Structure 1
Amino acid sequence: MDRTIVITGASSGLGLTAAEQLAAQGDRVVVVGRNPERLAAAIERVRAAGGGREPGRYQADFESFKEVRELAEHLLSTYPKIDVLANNAGGMIGAYRRTVDGYEATIQGNHLSPFLLTHLLRERLAGARVVNTASRAHMEGRPNPDDFAADAGSYRRYAGSKSANILFTAEAARRWPDIFSVSFHPGVVRTNFGDGPLTRFFYKYAPFLVTPEKAGALLAWLATAPQSELVNGAYYVGHQVKQPARHATDPAVAAKLWDKSVEAVQL
């Protein structure tokens, strides 16, 4: 076993616990995070979990296409083989804001930037696997491919971006049959998630939250289980394939989202 697994959003939460679990079983893990202090602390934890093996690391903010492109250049120049790309970076943003690229921050961080990164690594991912962190929240919102700067309210912006993750996964399976793609709902994870004191309080103290370790184990399973045990293009809740909301299963919507996303990220 000598897999190289890139995990974005891996400096905290389920991304970090997945990185630890994968490192512990012998995988080479590349930890990507935005906050330098959390990233440094995560590297120590992943190194310890891997018995001292030095993990890869890169700091990038997914609200910047420039930084995503620099991340892709680093990965392509450093790792001749990438076995798994786990698109896990993202979050729920309270107040509306636009990124330096002119798009609403939630849809850029949660969908457009992972979409861009996956495309930039596309050739290196041939024969590999992409795992996209989605959410059951997708049922409450739809992406607006005609206007990636639109404001639908905090939760609906987030929900729309999670629908986009599911649509992207299914469309990738159709367009890129040489890459195995899955998306999943990790549960509502007790983690440092969201923007604003009320949202952060909820994601730390609500009684029904899933532990980061359990959610990370699901990501790790999706990243490494034999393909014969999984379904290409599927959406998972736990270890089971689930049917997403109808608006997140329409191939015409997925195709339009793909084409408009290509335009937005200037591929």
Structure 2
Amino acid sequence: MATIVVTGGSSGVGLAAAKQFAARGDEVVLVGRDPRRLAAAVAQVKAAGGGEPAHFRADFERLDEVRALADGLLAAFPRIDVLANNAGGMVGDFRRTVDGFEATVQGNHLAPFLLTSLLRERLRGARVVNTASRAHAQGRPDPGDLTGDARTYNAWRAYGASKAANILFTAEAARRWPDVFSVSFHPGVVRTNFGTGRVTRLFYKYAPFLVTPEKAGELLVWLATAPEADVVNGGYYMGHKLTAPAPHARDAALAATLWDASAKAVGR
């Protein structure tokens, strides 16, 4: 039985994957921000697998809560087999967090970077799966500016840059942490409550060609459990296919610079 930590586990892709892990007999650990949705997710995962999953509440726009989450996980679990960094979202209007960073880059990149770094020793021989997006092509992260500028803020560009950061982090982790197997993936355009603004949310709920959370969850589960011989360490996947991301998201120099800037930003 593997121990699987799923962030963003209270809805969407994360919840769908958590239920599938539970059905396999894995020990599932849910992480979510909203207490009500987290409680509902716990009940669904319990129904899928028979046992009540451990669960932790954390808001990734507060790095102290990420640190507290890491402390809780380290205290509770002597082994973590998979960390699914799935939490993330789009921020409609420019906002800085209490930590001083633009909210999109903190929630989607800096927070999972910090969590993974804090769990690093517990992840030796484990697997990290980072939920990225094809939207990474729309934005390039700037390691020199993680605080953002309200005058030039664009929600989609910021989201794309944060997803490119997920891919760059994955590849750099494979280089720096060879004893941790890291992959990232595009889950498809998933039917969820994703997005900001009424039109975008309606699109992600009702467009006919969208991928179901269950289908996207299956991909996350495959990436988390497939034999290492079948998956490339540091790779980016669309479906079951290793895929080259946009040029800026496979720039090794940018990946290294972003890593160092992120480590400095979060105090690692």
TM range (shorter): over 0.9
* Distance of 1:253 and 1:198 partners within structure 2: 34
List aligned pairs for 1:75-94, cutoff 5 A: 75-94=73-92
Q: How do 1:1-267 and structure 2 match up within 5 A?
A: 2-51=1-50, 53-151=51-149, 152-267=153-268
Root-mean-square deviation (Å): 0.7
CA distance in 1, matches of 2:195, 2:221: 23
The residue identity in structure 2 corresponding to 1:40 is A
Cα displacement (A) at 1:23: 0.2
In 2, are the aligned partners of 1:137 and 1:159 still within 8 Å (CA)?
Answer: yes
Q: Structure 2: how far apart are the matches of 1:196 and 1:39? A: 23
Deviation string 1:12-62 (CA, Å, 9 cap, x unpaired) is 0010000000000100000000011100000000000002x1211001000
Distance 1:37 1:169 in 2: 31
Distance 1:149 1:197 in 2: 27
Q: Which stretch has the larger CA shift, 213-222 or 201-210?
A: 201-210
Distance 1:190 1:126 in 2: 34
3-state SS of paired residue (1:150): coil
- Aligned-residue offset at 1:89: 0.4
Which runs of 5 or more residues in structure 1 are unaligned? none
Query: Scaled by the length of structure 2, what TM-score is found?
Result: 0.98
Provide the rounded CA distance (Å) in 1 between the counterparts of 2:137 and 2:258. 17
Distance 1:196 1:8 in 2: 24
Deviation at 1:192, TM superposition (A): 1.6
Identity over aligned pairs, percent: 69
In structure 2, C-alpha distance between the alignment counterparts of 1:25 and 1:71, rounded to whole Å: 25
Compute the TM-score of the two structures, normalised by the length of structure 1: 0.98
**Structure 2 letter corresponding to 1:42:** A
Q: Deviations over 1:87-137 (max 9, x none)?
A: 000101111101110111000000000000000000000000000000000
CA drift of 1:196 comes to 2.8
Structure 2 SS opposite 1:123: helix
CA-to-aligned-CA distance 1:48-90 (integer Å, 9 cap, x gap): 0002x12110010000100000000000000000000000001
Distance 1:261 1:43 in 2: 32
Gaps of 5+ in 2: none
The answer as to whether partners of 1:8 and 1:87 remain within 8 angstroms in 2 is yes
Contact 1:144 1:150 in 2 (8 A): no
Taking the aligned partners of 2:200 and 2:120, their CA distance within structure 1 comes to 35
Q: Secondary structure at the match of 2:123?
A: coil
Contact 1:20 1:46 in 2 (8 A): yes
CA distance in 2, matches of 1:187, 1:208: 10
Q: Could you tell me which amino acid in structure 2 is paired with residue 34 of structure 1?
A: R
Counting matched residue pairs gives 265
**Greater Cα offset, 192-201 or 153-162:** 192-201
For 1:241, give the aligned amino acid: L
Distance 2:197 2:94 in 1: 12
3-state DSSP class of the match of 2:202?
helix
